[in-house]
Structure formats: C-alpha cells, structure tokens
Amino acid sequence: MAVQSAAQSKTPITLTIAGSDSGGGAGIQADIKAISATGGYACSVIAALTAQNTQGVTGIFNISPEFVAEQLDAVFSDLDVKAVKIGMLSDAVIIQTVADKLRQYQPQFLVVDPVMVATSGDLLLQRDAIETLKSALLPLADVITPNLPEAAALLNTEIPQTEADMAELVEALRELGAGAVLLKGGHLSQTQESTDLLISTDQVIRFSHPRIDTHNTHGTGCTLSAAIASFLAQGFALNDAVQHAKTYLTEAIRHADELQIGTGHGPVNHFFHGHYQPERA
C-alpha cells in the first residue's frame, strides 16, 4: 500500500515522542496537556510504558524499536507535524531509530529534552545510549533542554552548584552540536529565582522567574519542553517560544497546589487558565 502524504494543516501540530506516565503528571500525558493548553494540537509516539504515580516509578516496559518506527510512519504520513518534542528514549537502538525517522521526515522544529537522570541521581540510560543520543539525535535538534544533572551527564562533569558553575558549561554545551541549549537551573534550590540560560552560537540569554514554594512539581521538564515545541509550531521565534513557555510553566507551578492529586509529588496545573464547565440542568 502506498504511503499517503501528509495533508497541509492550519492547525499547529506538535508531536511528542516519549514515555507514558500512568499517573498522568509527566511524560506523554504532561506533553499532551501542555501542548493543548498552549494552543496546539498534540499527537504522540509512545517509546515506553511506565507504572508510575506521584510517589515514583515501579515498572518500565520498553516499546520495540520496530513499533516505535511504525508509529512514526503513521503520524508523519498523515499529519502535518510542525514541531517534535522528544522526551525519555529508553536505549540506543530506539534513539537511533527515532533519529533515522527524523532525518527521513525532516520536521521543521525539534526540541529534545534529554531525560537521563532520575530524581535520585541515578542514570536512566546506559553510557552507550548517552553516546548515541549525543552523536545521532542532539545534532538534529533546534534546542535541547537539559537540567543540571543531565548537562553534567552529557558532558561527564560535576553537577553545577551555582549560576557561575552553569556559565562555565556554556562552551562545552555548544560543542554538542544542537542549534541551541536551554540549560535549566531549577536544581539550584538555594536561590530565590529559577534561572535558565538559553545558549546559542553567539549569545547567552538569561530567563529568570521567582522560585515557587511547592512540592507539586512532577513533570516540569516535560511540560516546559513540550510548551517550547508548541510555541515553535505556532510560528514564534526560539527566544520568544522559550519566554512564553517559561511563563506558562511558572503559572502552572504557581497553581499546582489547587490540585490534590496523589500523596507524593503532584503534577503542575496545566490548565490553570480555566476549563469548560457546562451549565447543569
């Protein structure tokens, strides 16, 4: 059967390629919520299933590379995908499969959130998978969005402890080959502001918002990267897409305590701006 070409769409479509979070706070679920809340249409390719809730992950089931490729073919052959956001990919073979398909279909924008380090500090990927990520996928990206432990894992260095330490990583992060790097400083919990550095080939732009005191921050990295992809799909320049995404995430965190989800680290409030509430009869 011949592969049908994707139809042009006026709707800004963003594809998320990541793992599923059964608790709904991170991964594919957070991405779909963030893309929808920021004005886009979300489609998805699931690379792994997790048994997960607000307290942690109890199991992971990896999807086969062949079926990941089949999902990608299905999406790209029919939908006019403008931007792609990539989250956790489980191993080197899946990473290479995704990279090959992206070269085949060449979406306009690619945002890579290199999910590699658990909250505990443990690596989620083997070293060979990290090397494949660096060689096959990161050079295709318009922007990558590592947090501080992930940046340290990519560069095989110590985790930055201050904003000055973050600045010292700028040149090494540029050498990874992505179009830009958004180095997220959320792990600097001793500061009153959460500061990210957008590192391009010729400048560094500082984005800073007040730090919000809440333990409901599950899925913040997924949400930010998905929102950036959503805004890029809508035609915003990268600097503006990052600014809008950072503002959106800050408000989603600010309103997180309005939700009461689970007994651990709850999700951010993706739809803080309101919901459709039909009148009751």
Instruction: Determine the pLDDT at residue 59.
Output: 87
Q: Which is the catalytic residue, given 222, 223, 246, 250?
A: 222
Hey, what amino acid is at 41? Y
Residues whose CB is less than 8 angstroms from the CB of residue 233 and which lie 6 or more positions away in sequence, other chains included: 12, 13, 14, 40, 82, 83, 108, 109
Q: Is 222 labeled as catalytic in the residue annotation?
A: yes
Q: Is 217 labeled as catalytic in the residue annotation?
A: yes
The larger pLDDT score, comparing residue 125 to residue 265, is at: 265
Q: Which is the catalytic residue, given 25, 221, 246, 266?
A: 221
| Per-residue pLDDT reduced to its tens digit, 24-44 | 999 999 999 999 999 999 999
Instruction: Return the SS3 of 118.
Output: coil
How are beta strands 13-21 and 81-86 bridged, if at all?
Answer: parallel
pTM (predicted TM-score): 0.94
Average pLDDT over every residue of 248-258: 94
Count, in order, helices (H) and strands (E) of the chain.
9, 9
Q: Which is the catalytic residue, given 38, 97, 145, 220?
A: 220
Q: Is 33 labeled as catalytic in the residue annotation?
A: no
Distance, in Å, from the CA atom of 256 to the CA atom of 270, rounded to the nearest integer, reads 8
Instruction: Determine the pLDDT at residue 1.
Output: 34
Q: Is 11 labeled as catalytic in the residue annotation?
A: no
| Per-residue pLDDT reduced to its tens digit, 203-220 | 999 998 888 989 999 999
Helix axes 238-254, 220-233, angle to 10 degrees: 140
Q: Is 220 labeled as catalytic in the residue annotation?
A: yes
Q: Which is the catalytic residue, given 14, 97, 145, 217?
A: 217
Q: Which is the catalytic residue, given 184, 223, 250, 266?
A: 184
Mean predicted lDDT score pLDDT of the chain: 91
| Per-residue pLDDT reduced to its tens digit, 108-166 | 999 999 988 765 455 677 788 999 999 999 999 999 999 999 999 999 999 999 999 99
| Per-residue pLDDT reduced to its tens digit, 80-112 | 999 999 999 989 999 999 999 999 999 999 999
How many CB atoms lie under 10 A from the CB of residue 121? 9
Distance, in Å, from the CA atom of 79 to the CA atom of 102, rounded to the nearest integer, reads 14
**Domains (range + CATH), the chain:** 13-258 (3.40.1190.20)
Q: How confident is the model at residue 7 (pLDDT cuts 50, 70, 90)?
A: low
| Per-residue pLDDT reduced to its tens digit, 157-191 | 999 999 999 999 999 999 999 999 999 998 787 77
Q: Which is the catalytic residue, given 19, 23, 219, 266?
A: 219
The larger pLDDT score, comparing residue 192 to residue 157, is at: 157
Whether the CB-CB separation of 110 and 136 falls below 8 Å is answered with no
